[in-house]
Amino acid sequence: MTVVLELAVTDSDAGVSLADADAILAVAQESGIDAIRLLDRAGESAVVDPSVSGAYLAGHHDGLGYLIDAGTTHNAPYNLARRVSAFDRATDGLVGLVLNPGDGDEVSDATAPDRGAVESAERWGEYAGILEQLWESFPAAALLGDQVRALVVDDGLVRAIEHDGRFYRVAGPLDGPSSRQGRPPLVVAEPDAVGWKRTAAHADVVIIDVPTAVASLRSLTSALGAAGRNRTDVTVLVRTRTVPDYLEWFAHDEVNGVVLVTDGLDAGEVVDLIRAVAAHIERPAGGSLRDRLGLRTRTEVPA
């Protein structure tokens, strides 16, 4: 079972400071936590950009996985894909992205093919597909480093994506190779907002909440079947707020892991929560983030 710790890094009381996060991650790593989810919002409070706080924390705790939150709002697809890919390479395949629905960005909106396209769930679906293609546009195998033949890259393996959709025009490819895990895992944390059809088409991981977990599992299974995918293709994590909830869902056959929710807790209370569940955590065996999430390496976008 996968165990993820959820944190918002902020100077306000809505989360924990960067210094406190550093101390918390030391306990998390010692306790066998698989990954840290870094939120991009904490109520009305500003947070440190998850890619920035994640890069800092990964420099201190290089054995942990990192799920960084980002929305479509203010993030051009190419820029976000490049930022996540660079972080993933730097950690040797321990980074994934929680892509949240939202609005556009000023760079993409200026050249949007369809100015009438505004629906956020539809935007999310197009955006997710672009990320998948970009992350697979420069496979690790293309990086040769052949000094004898003076070849750095096999150009035949690097391909432009030439995407021209309703919301975005993106040529690609990325300017750097993928990590050992292929493309970073794409996580859906708001499946109702995105829609189950789009979730089933793009998600590697789906995060659901305890109150709606049974209905969400039913909706996901149905949508995956309609998309020609198996339930085992997707990792399902349940957000738990209490130790009893954690223990109940940790032993649940229909989910693959849990997310420890920490909003409303101070740093000391977060550490107490980790230690309370530590005895039930299986220490990660290493490997990439995809390995820890029970996902296979992905180098090609599904048909």
Is residue 268 a part of any domain in this protein? yes
Is residue 43 a part of any domain in this protein? yes
Question: What tokens appear for 220 in the block?
Answer: 């996901």
Is residue 12 a part of any domain in this protein? yes
Buried b (16+ CB within 10 A) or exposed e, 131-150: bbbbbbbbbbebbeeeeeee
Is residue 251 a part of any domain in this protein? yes
Domain holding 48, by residue range, is 2-104+184-292
Q: What is the pLDDT of residue 280?
A: 86
Count of domains forming the chain: 1
Question: What tokens appear for 174 in the block?
Answer: 């990325």
Higher local confidence (pLDDT), 190 or 14: 190
Q: What are the tens digits of pLDDT across the range 164-176?
A: 999 999 999 999 9
Higher local confidence (pLDDT), 97 or 62: 97
Strands 2-7 and 257-260: parallel
Q: Residues 254-273: what's their mean pLDDT?
A: 96
Is residue 161 a part of any domain in this protein? no
Q: What is the pLDDT of residue 298?
A: 65
Is residue 200 a part of any domain in this protein? yes
Q: Residues 32-49: what's their mean pLDDT?
A: 94
Residue 251: pLDDT band (50, 70, 90) is confident
Q: Residue 228 is part of a domain; what is its CATH number?
A: 3.20.20.30
Is residue 244 a part of any domain in this protein? yes
Q: Residues 127-144: what's their mean pLDDT?
A: 93
Residue 148: pLDDT band (50, 70, 90) is low
Is residue 125 a part of any domain in this protein? no
